[in-house]
Structure 1
Amino acid sequence: MRLYRLESKIVALFITLIVVVQLAGFVAIRTAIDRNARSAISEELVIGERVFTRLLDQNAQKLTQGARLLASDFGFRQAIGTDDRDTIASVLANHGARIGASMGMLVGTDGNIHASTLEYPDTDLQRSSLELVRRAGNGNGAAESAVVGDNLFQIVAVPIKAPVTIAWVVMGFPVDRELVNDMRALSQLQVSILVRQRGSAAWSADVSTLPKPQAQMMAKEASSPQMGQAGATDLQIDGNQYRARVLPLARASNGQEAVAVLQRSVSEAVAPYQRLQLILLSITVLGVLGAAVASAVMARRITSPLRDLASVAKRLGEGDYSEGLYIRRQDEIGRLGAAFETMRSEIASRELKISRLAYQDQLTGLPNRVQFTDLLREAIGQAQAQPGSSCHILMMDLDRFQQVNDVLGHSFGDDLLRQVAVRLAGQLLYPGAKVARLGGDEFAILLPGVGLDGALDQAAHILRSLEQPLSLQEQTVDLGAGIGVAGYPAHGESSEVLLSHVEVAMYTAKRKGSGVVIYDPAIDQSSQESLSLLSELRRALERDEFMLYLQPKLDLATGAVVGGEALVRWVHPEKGFIGPDNFIPFAETTGFIRMLTTWMMEKVARLSAQLQAQGLQLKFSVNLSTRDLLDQELPAAFGAILERHRLTPAALCLEITESAIMDDPARAQATLDRLAAMGFALSIDDFGTGYSSLAYLKRLPVDELKIDKSFVMKMAQDQDDAKIVRSTVDLGHNLGLRVVAEGVESEEVWFLLRQMGCDQGQGYFMGKPMPVERFLEWLQQWRAPEMLDQSENMAI
């Protein structure tokens, strides 16, 4: 089976799922077994420690009883009384042999050894015996474990009383293999006695239930730091893992030490469970094999009809609808096959209908765009085959058709289009000419073998025919059209190029209202320049080619600078300085003005924050366009900019023109209301040049009126302008608004405005628009006219 086939994927999926589930179970069981085994071993070691301690105590008690029996022997006490040391030594040896003691000593009350079964008692043994005698005092005896040489001993000391203590019997019993074997039999634990001499870091194995090589390896492992830790530890001995627990037995002041290491093999503990794991693994393998067979059978039952469906789909894609598909199953695949067969039969029936409609407009019965393109391609081919021949096309778009749809409804519009199609078909002047509807209210006329003059005659004939009103449903409709003309080979050598060019000419005719326009490459050049300008504007914004300019705004009564109007200038890297009149209208038309407004707001906010940090409180004005007012997200964007620069809205003033408000009063007022609610000061710019009503102006949330400079500049010479300005000032004040005059270009105009009560002014007399750095320099140098007069008077 190939891996990319569905059958293979189904089998692989089933096997993968089973293997993953079984492996997960296997790992979980193995982990649980190992964890439980270690836990059980740890408990066994704790219990084993208690058993071993009890075993040592019982052994010490037995030895103590044997020593007491010797101490109570009358003959032994009589020999002590006569100081018969040979007899004492003989009795110690015989009695020690009976109770399993490998050594015996008689210690006098003076602390000296009077008799011993050893010819030369070990120094460690003597010291341990004397320490044990001193600890026992006048009691009934004492017992302890001690290291003697390289071996661990249990030593007991029993007093000899007659009736007072006259001596001490000290008996030593080695901890031998019999004791650890007893422990092994009781607990199934491996037991090793390890001894370390003074001054040495290595352990040596005294006795152990392990074989000698393993016991030596365990003694080396015991030197690791983890052996000194409390609780169970892990050891690796001869490739086997053990859990071990260390039981301290003896520790002398001279550094000698003995411990018992209780061990349990982890491998032995989990061995029964490993057999269970093997059984589980065998079941898993059998399950995988069974699942592979079952899934292969199931996959074949699923994929076989799917292959039949794929074969039929391929035939349908090739356009063959003749052969049916019959899958006799009651499951989902059977229903899919039945649905597929229904689809095949319906597609076959619709194919006939679609083939008839593919090249025909359903509304008018005329050829559609697809058929017209094919007809144009054939006409171009015929013209190419006849040197000197040409063909032309006309494309027209009806005037005022959208108003017909809006006023009289789409049903009426459809009837009107049918009437237009009939009229156009009756106005053809040349044989072979074809009329087509390209979509909406666009129609095209193909004129094969017709020159430019003939095409213009045909276009003029059509326009004259449309001058006659159409009567429909007791309605009379006057229609016009814009017609574009393009032809082969003058305007293009392919159907796609000709259609594109004639459409450009048609839209130009619509825009200019000139009736008929012949395609001219200059039209496309203008469109390309517009696209190029938009690209350059975007690039200029990215490269920071725009510059912020400021024109001062002053209080006319005091001459104090109160702020400035923010303006944008463009310094093109190749074209140099570009004035706003050359790109602002285009930016407003294309919508780029929104990005430019955001840039302006960011720059002004940054400057205002810097000046406030220096103690200068100036209010800067930013102009908003029509598109800005229609942007419902504008308040949120301005709010984010202010928050970023830690400014309040009161630091800025937003200027809007009357025409911008009146383009869409409802949406504009909604945006202005939100901006005013945030705390922005709003100003009506160029007041007096728009067409807004005072009733509507009264409802706007504005704070300021700016009188257009066309009224201000010549008010000193023109009394009518002065009256308009005075009336506007009074109107603004009556509405509770601040009034600002633009175009203050002389001192005389300044004082006239101040006499009229105008609040603020801006113009060339105070300062032209200037870059930010120049504005800041001007700010330091500015002196109001009255202040200059006073300084001159003082000088006189």
Structure 2
Amino acid sequence: MSFFKIRSIQSKILSLFLFLLLIVQLVSFFSTFQASKQLETIQLTNRLSNAKDVFETQFSNRSYYLSAFAETAAKDYGLKSVLREDNKSFLVALNNHRKRINSDLAMAIDNDGLVFAQLVTYKTPQGKTKVRIGKGQGAYFGQDRELFAEANTQLVKLNEQLYQLSLAPIKSGSRNIGWIGFGYLIDAELAMELANLTDVNVAFVLGENDDKQLIAADQYERLNKGNIAIESVIANPAGDYVRELVPLGQLAEQGISAVLYKSKADLLASIGVEWLRLALLIALTVALSVVGAIAIARGITLPIKQLVSQVKLISQGNYDQSVEVDGSKELKQLSDEFNQMTDAVVSREQTISFQAFHDPLSHLPNRNSLLKALSKRKHAQQDFLVIQLCYLGAEDITDTLGYQVGDDVINEVAERIVKTNLGLSCFHLGGENFVLLADMQDIAPLVEQLLAELTIRCQYENISLHLQFALGIAISTLHNGGQETELLQKSNVALQHAKKNKKPYQVYDPQFDQNAVERLFLTNSLKQAIEQDELTLFYQPKLRLSDMTISHVEALVRWQHPEKGLIPPDAFISIAEKTGQMDALTRWVTQAAVNQYVSWQQKGLDINIAINISAANIMDKSYPDFVIDLKQAHQLSDNAITLEVTEEAVVEDAEQATAILCYLREHGFKLSIDDYGTGYSSLAQLKQLPVHELKIDRSFVQHLSTDESDKIIVRSTLELAHNMGLSVVAEGIEDETALLWLKAQNCQLAQGYFISKPLPADVFEQWIDNTPYQISRTKN
């Protein structure tokens, strides 16, 4: 399609003129064509209509003439006087009457229908018309008696010829004594006569529908020999003819019609449009228009070409020349505006160049300048430090004092950095983030001096701001093979590590990226793990110390990753909390634990399962409804499931937590406070909570055999819980001494590695078959 593209303005103007001309010519041609077609239609319709009117008039006149003359002749006394004399005298008298109207037939019939006189005409070889006695004389007239009605002109066939006949009665007084008639032949001569009058071809046919028999025609030879079939003229399938059928009468129950027809080609020859002359006129118009269009286009495009030449100079960076265009006022104004635009481009280019490589607020070099500087240092193979720096609390300053104060603080920091005498290249990445490039040197002294010069106290609206800074440092020699942006990424990782650990600065360590990539991988995969059932539950037994029976387990979730293998909960629980997936995770654990409980019940094991629920579950009313629906669906007994909630979850919103826990307790769930002693709950809060159980944190249990203070804390907790009617679970039991001590203190349940580590369900079932402890089983 590129071949047909019009690229130059001159060509476009020329094409526009030609296109408009073509449209005009097409419209003109179409109008002429339509007018011609309408004229043809009108001409054909009028010609045929006139021909039909003339034909019908002529044929009717003949009928009327025959009828009137027959009546006149029937009343002729002289003809009546010889009627009873010899036949010859009558024939002479009859022939005299015939000559008056030049009829082709004259005849007389008596009352019995006997033709006693008949005269017919014929043509001699020399073309002269003669008269003779007809073959029907002396015979009975074989036509219907309707022909004898007064003034009735009919079509009859006599002596193998078709006549237009009119009979009139011969009366003697009031008595009818016979009939006299005259007729004209319907033959080729009549057809030619009528054709000359109507200026169309005329044919007489006998028959109905498609069965037509040609009787006579002005083109009889052509029609009779098959050059033109009268049927094809009448049917006219190709539309080559205009024709009209004019009914004339009946003959032996068959219709006789006149076919008026004419070839369309003959009719239209006289009104044809002179297309050749029209084509020559169009060609001449196009040629003149092209010449005019070329001249106009050249006059318009010449100044434009001068402007294009100037544009090329500008694109090459040459702004010194100006353009002067001679021509119309508009083009002169265009050249002046173009020169002013060139000056504006120079100014704007300088502004854009500055803005592209400098921060709009601090006017320090920005990220683009930094990348260029890093690339330059890398190609120069210089060793250097990339120091990413930010001041802490920027969002608090903006939220508290407003954006204008925030911007003022940024400018103050930028100004301080520029004024340092440490030979640093400073770049502003936006907001509170700055990057410094320094030659390779000892990091600790450099950072110490830099922070000393940057430590500032700002005064805004009677508020003194003491800014603190964090720095992340990447060393170029450790990352020579990477891209320029990699050094920025490494320094940013180090900066985030420094902020997270509240350190003034941090040098990048490759271990940081490894942990970050691993955490990002788990973050992106956790939702899929929950949906695709990649999680599994491990169960850690709880020993009922009163009778040394395994009666409870705690369900602990693990992630069986298809690539990473078994992932412990510490690696992904915090991710679920931060990404809003804790609810989905807890629901999966709850469903799996309930299914396991039902399965163990069917195997005869009566083991309570404890499930850890988070603060998000406590604050969400939909989770309690979910776990209640599960309990009802599986028809679980009360206290079959224990829900463990941490102190932190309770303290966050004690009123809401109390309401939800009451709701769960009312529906038959056992409730436990997990990790008791590590949070901030008070005795007053504990008193208000509708829980059944306290779970002492492992940090107080692991060293019971050696640490007296831990014994005091655990003993006090047990006494407190028992006084409040609560049972106690001690977790983290690592040796028999601690186990026996807790039993002696009436602790209800014990949990720890001394009893068993967490086990998958199938391994746990094998363990209970070999453990020395008793197993809680269902009652038959």
Which TM-score bucket, shorter chain as reference?
Answer: 0.5 to 0.7
1:724 aligned residue? 689
Rounded Cα–Cα distance in structure 1 between residues aligned with 2:280 and 2:267: 22
**From 34, 55, 61, the counterpart of 2:64:** 61
- 1:444 correspondence with 2:435: yes
Question: 2:384 maps to what in 1?
Answer: 391
Shift of 1:266: 6.8
Aligned pairs (5 A) from 1:166-177: 166-176=177-187
TM superposition shift of 1:128: 9.3
Aligned 8 A contact 1:394 1:455 in 2 = no
1:421 aligns with 2:414: yes
Of 488, 502, 506, the residue aligned with 1:499 is 488
Cross-structure match for 1:156: 166
Alpha-carbon distance in structure 1 between the residues aligned to 2:467 and 2:93? 149
Kept after mapping to 2: 8 A contact 1:195/1:204? yes
Change (3 A) 1:503 1:343: farther
Measure the CA separation in 1 of the matches of 2:498 and 2:245.
105
Residue 103 of structure 1 pairs with residue 105 of structure 2: yes
Inter-partner Cα distance in structure 2 for 1:287 and 1:586: 82
CA distance in 1, matches of 2:452, 2:668: 45
Amino acid at match of 2:379: G
Alignment of 1:233-252 (within 5 A): 236=239, 241-252=240-251
Shift of 1:157: 1.8
1:130 aligns with 2:109: no
Instruction: Please give the alpha-carbon distance, in whole angstroms, between the structure 2 residues aligned to 1:79 and 1:39.
Output: 58
Instruction: Classify 1:478/1:301 alpha carbon distance in 2 versus 1 (closer, same or farther; 3 Å).
Output: farther
Q: Distance in 1 between matches of 2:312 and 2:306?
A: 10
Which amino acid letter does the alignment assign opposite residue 671 of structure 2?
M
Distance of aligned partners of 1:427 and 1:28 in 2 relative to their CA distance in 1, 3 Å threshold? same
| CA deviation profile, 1:234-267 (whole Å, cap 9, x unmatched) | 864xxxx433222222443454643322447377
- Distance 1:85-1:528 versus aligned 2 partners, 3 A rule: farther
Map of 1:220 onto structure 2: 229
Q: Which residue does the alignment assign to 1:655? A: 622
The alignment partner of 1:64 has SS state of helix
Question: Aligned runs of 1:474-489 on 2, under 5 Å?
Answer: 475-489=463-477
- The C-alpha deviation readout for 1:68-113, integer Å capped at 9, x for no partner, is 344334454344424x444445555554454233233333322333
Partner of 2:365: 367
Distance 1:422 1:234 in 2: 100
**Secondary structure in structure 1 of the residue aligned to 2:622:** strand
State the match for 2:478 in structure 1.
490
What's the counterpart of residue 380 of structure 1?
Answer: 378
Match of 1:713 in 2: 671
- Greater Rg over alpha carbons, structure: 2
Q: Distance in 1 between matches of 2:182 and 2:282?
A: 64
The CA distance in 2 between the partners of 1:708 and 1:479, in whole Å, is 54
Q: Please state whether the residue corresponding to 2:324 is helix, strand or coil.
A: coil
RMSD: 5.4
Q: 1:244 to 1:215 in 2, by over 3 A?
A: farther
Q: For the structure 1 residues 302 and 582, does the alpha-carbon distance in structure 2 shift closer, same or farther, using more than 3 Å as the test? A: farther
Shift in alpha-carbon separation, 1:347–1:545, aligned structure 2, 3 A = same
Distance 2:65 2:87 in 1: 26
1:618-767 equivalence runs, <5 A = 655=622, 689=650, 691=652, 712-714=670-672, 723-725=688-690
Aligned mates of 1:246, 1:447 — CA distance in 2: 113
> Contact conserved, 1:481 with 1:510, CA < 8 A, in 2?
no
1:397–1:441 contact (8 Å) kept in structure 2: yes
2:165 maps to a residue whose letter is I
SS in 2 for 1:274: coil
* Equivalent AA in structure 2 for residue 724 of structure 1: L
Cα shift readout 1:564-599 (whole Å, capped 9, x = no counterpart): xxxxx99988789999999898688669999x99xx
Give 1:540-689 correspondences, 5 Å limit: 545=532, 655=622, 689=650
In 2, the alpha carbon distance for the partners of 1:713 and 1:437 equals 55
* Shift, 1:483, TM fit: 2.6
The one-letter amino acid of 1:25's match is S
Which amino acid counterpart does residue 162 of structure 1 have in structure 2?
S
**SS of structure 2 residue aligned to 1:153:** strand
Change (3 A) 1:441 1:52: same
2:38 maps to what in 1? 35
Matching residue's letter, 1:497: E
Deviation at 1:443, TM superposition (A): 0.8
Distance 1:399 1:331, change over 3 A: farther
Write out per-residue CA displacement over residues 128-164 of structure 1, whole angstroms, 9 at most, x where no aligned residue: 9622xx2244x43311235678865322222222232
Structure 1 gaps, min length 5: 385-389, 550-568, 601-622, 630-652, 658-684, 728-747, 750-787
Q: Give the direction of change, closer, same or farther, for the CA distance of 1:726–1:368 in structure 2 (3 Å limit).
A: closer
Task: Tell me the distance in 1 between the aligned counterparts of 2:413 and 2:151.
Answer: 135
**For the residues of structure 2 that align with 1:587 and 1:525, how far apart are their CA atoms?**
20
Amino acid of the structure 2 residue aligned with 1:191: N
Q: Secondary structure at the match of 1:447?
A: strand
**Following TM superposition, by how much is the alpha carbon of 1:435 offset from its aligned partner in structure 2, in angstroms?**
1.7
Cα distance change of structure 1 residues 274 and 707 upon mapping to structure 2, 3 Å threshold: farther
Comparing 261-270 with 34-43, which one deviates more in the overlay? Answer: 261-270
State the partner residue of 1:142.
152
Taking the aligned partners of 2:10 and 2:20, their CA distance within structure 1 comes to 16
Find the aligned partners of 1:62 and 1:547 in 2 and give their Cα distance.
117
Whole-angstrom CA distance in 1 between matches of 2:134 and 2:577: 117
Paired with 1:45 and 1:537, the residues of 2 have a C-alpha distance of 93
Cα drift, residue 461 of structure 1: 4.5
Quick one: structure 1 residues 722 and 33, their matched pair in 2 at CA, closer, same or farther if it must change by over 3 Å?
A: farther
- Matches of 2:582 and 2:202 in 1, distance apart? 92
Query: Cα distance, 1:293 vs. partner?
Result: 2.3
Give the alignment's TM-score, normalised by structure 2: 0.63
SS at match of 1:383: coil
Instruction: Confirm or deny: 8 A CA contact 1:244 1:262 kept in the other structure.
Output: yes
Which residue in the other structure is 2:264 paired with? 265
Give 1:301 shift: 2.5
Q: Is the 8 A contact 1:545 1:572 kept in 2?
A: no
**CA separation of 1:252 and 1:318: change in aligned 2, threshold 3 A:** same
Question: Which residue of the partner structure matches residue 22 of structure 1?
Answer: 25
SS in 2 for 1:109: coil
DSSP 3-state at the match of 2:143: helix
SS state of the match for residue 81, structure 1?
A: coil
Which residue does the alignment assign to 2:424? Answer: 433
What is the aligned counterpart of 2:216 among 178, 203, 206?
206
Counterpart of 2:258 in structure 1: which amino acid?
V
Cα distance change of structure 1 residues 187 and 341 upon mapping to structure 2, 3 Å threshold: farther
User: Structure 1 residues 15 and 478, CA, compared in 2 at 3 Å: closer, same or farther?
Assistant: same
